[in-house]
Amino acid sequence: FKLTSVDEFEAATARLLETGAKVGADSWQLRVKNQSPHCKFGETGVCCRICAMGPCRITPKAPRGICGCDVHGIVGRNYLKFTAGGAATHSDHGREICHTLYLSAEDGNYKVKDPEKLKRIAKEWGVETEGKDIYDLAHEMAELALLEYGKPFGTQRWLKRAPQTTQDIWDREGIAPRAIDREVSTSLHMTHMGCSSKPEALIRQSLRAGLADGWGGSMCGTEFSDVLFGTPKPIDTEANLGVMNAENVNIIVHGHDPSLSEMICEYADDPEMIAYAKSFGAKGITVSGVCCTSNEVAMRRGIPMAGNFLQQENVVLTGACEAIVVDVQCIFPALGPLSKCFHTKFITTSPIAQMPDSEFIEFHAENAGENAKAIVKLACENFVNRNKDLVYIPDMKQKATVGYSVEAIVKVLDGVTNSQVDETGTTKPLIECITSGVIRGAVAMVGCNNPKIRPDHAHIELMKKLIANDIVVIASGCAAQAAAKAGLMDKQSKDLCGAGLKRVCELADIPPVLHMGSCVDISRMMILAATLAKDSGLKISQLPVVGCAPEWMSEKAVSIGNYVVATGIDTFLGVDPYVSGSSEVAELLTNGVREWVEAAYTVEKDIDKLVDSMIDRIEEKRAAIGI
Ligand code: SF4
Ligand code: FE2
């Protein structure tokens, strides 16, 4: 067993870019050059264009905008707007899932695959389940969940899942999120010209909008996706571009919403469709994924992961991609013109994400089956249009075991038998491992890729050092895919762990880096932290657990960071969220918020320093609780 190195990833990319050069393709690598150096005003967050008297940019000679706003107000407003964008996006994804649940039917396109989970949530929400038809219950729960987006009074239902100590903090600080849409609206209201310019108020609302995402919209997305498509269990798959098959019709699913990809996978498996692919000279159909849509179907179906965010152009550059089918979020508009350099069909499916040079096949619950079938057919028919001279799929893939939902983690922990813990179905075996020092702590590695950081390098190097130091890693999003591509989700990578973590991996039969899903599934990590706190009697902020997004890039990532911090978990970033222009905002985020929520951000671009500071923080937390 050998890890695949980032050098090898880059050699494969270089080879694909040669193909790109032959056909006149553009690439992010070229566009980064054109965009460098970045605008300093934008990069430090000191440019304001929220009213038409501007744009104003703050310099030593011009310390205030025309309205008189100072740099702290401008940076703070920009930060809150950025957060609101992320919270809106995740939450709207969650809302789509609730609508899909509302349309689920015994004989429909979408069914309830995990009725037990639905009943469990119904009980939590005080909804009667006795004697109710499962679809009646699904529709009732979907409607209740949809009301969480706009309810006039009260706070989010999911908050009750947090330990009481955490809920008390949220109440005390006035950051318990109300209706999900209201927190997004309030944020946009606050950042309108002539409203808030006080950093404390802006950052407080950033935390609340983040919580509306993580303990609101994202949690709806995760939990009801599980109800519809099944709660993930450990499953074997493969990762990296080598999962594409030159002899097959290759369909790539990309984006975030599993409603589309689930249906595509369903039809790609249909014998009738496979026969159709064969009629065009292919040996079969391979569906593989990019970004979080990929995580969703990998976790539930073992569909292989072709790559993460900055590999999305690579799948087209293989020359062997018949169709790249996208739903929402993190899709490069570049895929339009790029697909035109090849035979690839670039198929957009959501009114939310429409792009030039794509074929738009609108997808919704009522026509999902029909349209998925049409897309699979289109891909099959496109096989004959391949230019065989351009086909090159890097021979590079790793095995990965994925699918570690909280439910699955609790189950594997039952395997870590210990004389002191005879209770099953809890996180107590993990707490016991942490208390005894066999495992020092846990790091949640999340987030995207960003060309500002050597792609995947930070993710992989950090994870290697963490597991070598007996720190278990839970991962989601593109961070998880980086791990899978490198081989860190192959159970054999246990040999890279310290002795303690290695033993735990053997007992529980798990890899040292656990795939917890997509970016909305960071809500799973919140539930895990809440469960650990409840099972140990500690506050979340006392657990030797930190969060890390070393290569993040999107608004969603900032929203996530805010709810992770607001939940009491220190969060380490490798990219600055455009706040360095304001000493006050930067101070609040990296220190001041600790007084409110018992956690804060650390921003550190040096990867070695970043990992060392996480290990130090974990050891400090251990010392503080005397373990
Ligand atoms: Fe300039 Fe103030 Fe308008 Fe922003 S809100 S563009 S700082 S005048
Ligand atoms: Fe994602």
Taking a C-beta distance cutoff of 8 angstroms, is the pair 244, 288 a contact? Answer: yes
Determine the pLDDT at residue 585.
Answer: 98
Tokens of 432: 């016991």
Amino acid at residue number 391? V
* pLDDT tens figures, 440-485: 999 999 999 999 999 999 999 999 999 999 999 999 999 999 999 9
Ligand nearest to the CA of 93: 2
What's the rounded mean pLDDT across residues 162-184? 98
Q: What is the pLDDT of residue 423?
A: 73
Q: Is the pLDDT reported for residue 48 higher than 90?
A: yes
Specify whether the CB–CB gap between 376 and 363 falls below 8 A. no
52 alpha carbon to ligand 1 midpoint, in Å?
Answer: 7
47 pocket-lining for ligand 1 (C-beta < 6 Å): no
| pLDDT band for position 414 (cuts 50, 70, 90) | confident
The per-residue pLDDT for range 583-596, each reduced to its tens digit, is 999 999 999 999 99
pLDDT at 548: 98
CA of 256 to the centre of ligand 2 (A): 6
Nearest residue CA, atom 4 of ligand 1? 48
pLDDT tier for residue 415 given thresholds of 50, 70 and 90: confident
65 lines ligand 1 (CB under 6 A): yes
Is-contact 588 200, C-beta < 8 A? yes
Name the residue of 47, 49, 53, 58 to mutate for ligand 1: max ligand atoms within 8 A of Cβ.
53
Q: Which residue segments constitute the domains of the chain, with CATH numbers given?
A: 62-229 (1.20.1270.30), 241-390 (3.40.50.2030), 398-624 (3.40.50.2030)
CA of 206 to the centre of ligand 1 (A): 20
pLDDT band per the 50, 70, 90 thresholds, residue 365? confident
Counting ligand 1 atoms within 8 A of each CB, the residue from 66, 70, 195, 202 with the most, and so the one to mutate, is 66
Q: Is residue 186 very low, low, confident or very high in pLDDT (cuts 50, 70, 90)?
A: very high
Q: Is 481 helix (H, G, I), strand (E, B) or coil?
A: helix
User: What's the ipTM?
Assistant: 0.97
CA of 291, nearest ligand number: 2
Nearest to 463 by CA among 449, 474, 451: 474
pLDDT of residue 111: 97
Q: What is the pLDDT of residues 263-287, one digit of tens each?
A: 999 999 999 999 999 999 999 999 9
Per the confidence metrics, is the pTM higher than 0.80?
yes
Could you tell me the pLDDT band of residue 417, with boundaries at 50, 70 and 90?
A: low
For ligand 1, is residue 623 a contact (CB within 6 Å)?
no
pLDDT > 70 fraction of the chain, expressed in percent and rounded? 99
Residue-level pLDDT at 418: 57
pLDDT tens digit string along 189-239?
A: 999 999 999 999 999 999 999 999 999 999 999 999 999 999 999 999 999
| Overall average pLDDT of the 167-193 stretch | 98
| Averaged pLDDT score across all residues of the chain | 97
Coil, strand, or helix at residue 516? strand
With a 6 Å cutoff on the Cβ, whether 49 touches ligand 1 is yes
Beta bridge mates, 547: 444, 571
Helix (H) or strand (E) holding 513: strand 513-517
Model confidence over 310-353: pLDDT tens digits?
A: 999 999 999 999 999 999 999 999 999 999 999 999 999 999 99
Residue 195 CB–ligand 1 contact under 6 Å: no
Please state the φ and ψ torsions of residue 334, each to the nearest 5 degrees.
Answer: -60, -25
pLDDT at 421: 56
Q: Would you say the CB of residue 468 lies under 6 angstroms from ligand 1?
A: no
Residue nearest to atom 7 of ligand 1 (CA): 65
Beta-sheet strand order (sheet of 471-476)? 513-517, 471-476, 441-445, 545-549, 571-573, 601-603
**Most distant CA atoms of the chain, gap in Å:** 72
Using CA atoms, how far apart are residues 379 and 321, in angstroms rounded to an integer? 9
Alpha carbon nearest to ligand 1 atom 3, residue: 51
Residue 56 CA, closest ligand 1 atom number: 1
Q: How far apart are CA 208 and CA 200, in angstroms?
A: 12
**CA dist., res. 143 & res. 135, Å (int):** 12
